[in-house]
Amino acid sequence: MNIKATGLIAVGTVAMILSGCSDNETTEDANLGEQLEYTITGIEPGAGITGQAREMLNTYDNLEGWELQESSTGGMMTELDQAIQNEEPIVVTGWTPHWMFERYDLKMLEDPELAFGEGDDIHTIAREGLEEDMPEAYAILDAFEWSVEEMQVVIDEGQDIEMEEAAADWVEENQDQVDGWLEGVDPVDGQPIDIISVPWDSERASSNVIRLALEQHGFDVTVTNVDPSILFQAVGNGEADASVAPWLPNTHGAFMDEYGESIVDLGPNAEGTMNALVVPTYMEIDSIEDLPASE
Ligand code: PBE
C-alpha cells in the first residue's frame, strides 16, 4: 500500500467517525450530490447538447431527481471558472472543440448509455436546388474541408481577438488549403449567398473561414447566427442557402430528422467532435453512473 492510499483511508476514517456513519462512501456520495444540488450546469435551451442532456436525465436511473440548469454558454463558463477557482465540484455539459479544455484541467465522464452518442462530424448542408442555381457556391461548399485541430487554432485565437480576424489570419496562413477548395471553380461577380450558422465559437470559426473563401471567389456573403432548430428550418424551406454548422448524426440528429427531407447533406467538413458531461480533474468520479442518486 502506498502512502497516498494510507492517507486517504486515514482521512476516510476520520470522516466516518465525525459523521457517525458506518458507510463512508455513502456519506461522500451524499455530500457530492448535495454540493452539486443534484444539478448539471448546462447551456442554451436550444442547443443540441441541451436536448441530449435532457434525454440523459431519463436514461440513467441514478439521475432521477437531478436537474439540468439551462442558461447560456457564457453563464456556464463563468460558473465553471468560479467552481475551479474554489476547487468545488461542478458538472457541466461540455464539448470539443472548445477552449475550455485548453484553459482548465477537465475530463469527460464516461457515458455507458451513449446519451451523447459516440461523437459527431460537422457537416455542410445546402438547400434543395442550390447545386442547380449556384453551382460555383455549391462546388466550393462541397470542397470545404479542414480538421477540428485547425478549427481549434481559430477558436483559441478568437478568445484574444475578434473571431473574424482570427479566421482571416488562418486563411492567410493556409491559403494553399483554401485554394484547394476554390480550384476548378469559376469566380463569380458579387453573387449573394446566405450562410446560416449557430452562435458557438466552433461555428463562428468555420463560418468565417468559409465566408472568406467564398468572398475571395467573388461572392457577397451574409452569415446569420440562429438557434439550431431555426437553422435547419431555414435551409429546409430554402430561406438560407447553406450551413457548415450541423453536428451529425447525434447533436443535431433530431433537427435533421425533422427537416432533413428537403436538405442536401454534402457530408463532413470536419471530423471528430464530442459532447459529454465534463468535470474538473480534481473530482473523483469517472462516469455519469458515478453521480450519486438523489434520495
Ligand atoms: N454545441 C457546439 C452546439 C453545436 C456546436 C455542441 C454547443 C449544440 O449543442 O447545438
* Predicted confidence (pLDDT) at residue 194 exceeds the cutoff of 70: yes
Ligand 1: which atom is nearest the Cα of residue 275? 6
Q: Given this model, what pLDDT does residue 28 score?
A: 66
How many angstroms does the Cα of residue 48 sit away from the middle of ligand 1? 6
Residue 89 and residue 279 in contact, taking contact as beta carbons nearer than 8 Å: yes
How many angstroms does the Cα of residue 205 sit away from the middle of ligand 1? 13
* Predicted confidence (pLDDT) at residue 178 exceeds the cutoff of 90: yes
- Radius of gyration, alpha carbons of the chain: 23
d(CA 206, CA 290): 36
What is the arithmetic mean of pLDDT over 12-34?
Answer: 59
What is the arithmetic mean of pLDDT over 48-54?
Answer: 98
Residues β-bridged to residue 107: 279
Q: What is the pTM of this model?
A: 0.90
pLDDT digits (tens, 9 = 90+) for 259-276: 999 999 999 999 999 999
Of the candidates 273, 40, 260, 262, the one whose C-alpha atom is nearest the C-alpha of residue 129 is 262
d(CA 288, CA 108): 9
Q: Given this model, what pLDDT does residue 217 score?
A: 97
What is the arithmetic mean of pLDDT over 33-40?
Answer: 96
d(CA 263, CA 265): 6
Reduced to 3 states (helix: H, G, I; strand: E, B; else coil), residue 106 is strand
Ligand 1: which atom is nearest the Cα of residue 51? 9
pLDDT digits (tens, 9 = 90+) for 85-115: 999 999 999 999 999 999 999 999 999 999 9
d(CA 72, CA 46): 10
Side chain identity at residue 103, one-letter code = R
pLDDT digits (tens, 9 = 90+) for 244-260: 999 999 999 999 999 99
How many angstroms does the Cα of residue 14 sit away from the middle of ligand 1? 44
Using CA atoms, how far residue 102 sits from 125, 240, 292, in Å, is: 29, 34, 28
pLDDT digits (tens, 9 = 90+) for 199-250: 999 999 999 999 999 999 999 999 999 999 999 999 999 999 999 999 999 9
pLDDT digits (tens, 9 = 90+) for 128-164: 999 999 999 999 999 999 999 999 999 999 999 999 9
Of the candidates 295, 294, 283, the one whose C-alpha atom is nearest the C-alpha of residue 109 is 283
For ligand 1, whether the C-beta of 228 sits within 6 Å is yes
Length of the chain: 295
For ligand 1, whether the C-beta of 202 sits within 6 Å is yes
Please, which pLDDT band fits residue 18 given cuts at 50, 70 and 90? very low
How many angstroms does the Cα of residue 49 sit away from the middle of ligand 1? 6
Q: Given this model, what pLDDT does residue 26 score?
A: 61
Reduced to 3 states (helix: H, G, I; strand: E, B; else coil), residue 163 is helix
- Across all residues in the chain, what is the average pLDDT? 92
